[in-house]
Amino acid sequence: MDVTTAISIAISIAAFVLSSIALWQTHFAKFKVICSTGNLQFKIYPFQHNKERWYIPSVDIPITITNVGARAGKILGLRIRINYIDVQVPKNYEFFNPQWDVDYRIYNPISDKRFEWFDKAIIGEWMPFTVLPKQTVTKHLIFESRWDKPIIQENINFELEVYISSTRKWKKVAKWQGYLTSEVWSETIDSMASFIIREASSDAIDLEDRPNLTDLHNQIRGEYLILKGDSDKTSSYFGSSSKKTKNRKKS
């Protein structure tokens, strides 16, 4: 066999392998998802009936799920694993289960008014859903549980886990690190405040090259000429002032 024939055979084999891989990825690759999440918002809703008192801890998260496989599949489960990492027991965790998919634009301004957002912001109750090949699904989900007593912990890990039809196993896809001190608990209960936690992986973005904007702007600043009469304006909106200046007649 001469060199030319050997090269031709090698090229043909390589082309066959590459085309087979491409065919597999586009037609036969199993259901596989990539999940992206945003900030986690945590609230506590206090309840009381006669002498009984309890609390509903509530977590809401924006979630985007993309199917990078070639076959449709189902998201069978989502949950938040709450790890109390300072508690020295074998199973130092609990789960918050998904309850509702909400319209965040409506939910967020009234999130402290539980019964109001029940009526206005809920799109639907949680249920498993299908993701088609190459499709992206976005939801804003609320996960909740019940506490009969206040929970105070200095270190808490919130982990989002997903259960899909192709693997039938729970897989961690995102993590947030928070805390619930006595001060935070009191503020959350007394004022119905919420606190927001960034996803842990977002803190790993390299910010070493962030400039000192004060020094930079001192070097490149210019002098702003205040036209006569502008100093008397009460409006602080620059667009409004500039529009009036633009239409000012020359003297």
Beta bridge partners of 158: 82, 176
Residue with tokens 């088609």: 132
- 103: Cα within 13 Å, side-chain hemisphere: 9
Give the span between the Cα atoms of 41 and 203, in whole angstroms: 16
Give the pLDDT band of residue 225 (cuts 50, 70, 90): low
Rounded to whole angstroms, how far apart are CA atoms 198 and 42?
Answer: 11
Mean pLDDT computed over 213-237: 63
Q: Which of 98-102, 103-107, 196-200 has the lowest mean pLDDT?
A: 196-200
pLDDT reported for residue 13: 73
Band (pLDDT 50/70/90 cuts) for residue 216 is confident
State the distance between the two ends of the chain, measured CA to CA, in whole angstroms: 94
At residue 76, does pLDDT exceed 70? yes
Q: What is the pLDDT of residue 2?
A: 72
- In this predicted structure, the answer to whether residue 54 has a pLDDT above a threshold of 60 is yes
Where does the pLDDT of residue 113 fall: very low under 50, low under 70, confident under 90, or very high at 90 and above? very high
Concatenate the DSSP letters of all residues of 106-171 into one string. HHGGGTT-HHHHHHHTEEEE---EEE-TT-EEEEEEEEE--BSS---EEEEEEEEEEEETTT-SEE
Mean pLDDT of all residues in 205-221? 71
Tell me which of 215 and 165 has the higher pLDDT: 165
Cβ–Cβ under 8 Å, residues 157 and 95: no
At 149 the pLDDT is 94
Selecting from 2.60.40.1890, 3.60.15.10, 3.40.50.150, 3.40.50.1980, what CATH number does the domain 40-201 have? 2.60.40.1890
Q: Per-residue pLDDT tens for 234-250? A: 545 444 444 444 444 44
CA distance 160 to 165: 17
- The tens digit of pLDDT for each residue in 114-141 reads 999 999 999 999 999 999 999 999 999 9
Say what the pLDDT of residue 245 is.
41
The chain-wide mean pLDDT, for the chain, equals 84
214 pLDDT more than 60? yes
Cα–Cα distance list, 125 to 78, 119, 122, 203 (Å): 13, 13, 8, 32
Confidence tier at 203 by pLDDT (50, 70, 90):
low
Share of the chain above pLDDT 90, in %: 60
Q: Above 50 in pLDDT, residue 34?
A: yes
CB 44 within 8 A of CB 82: no
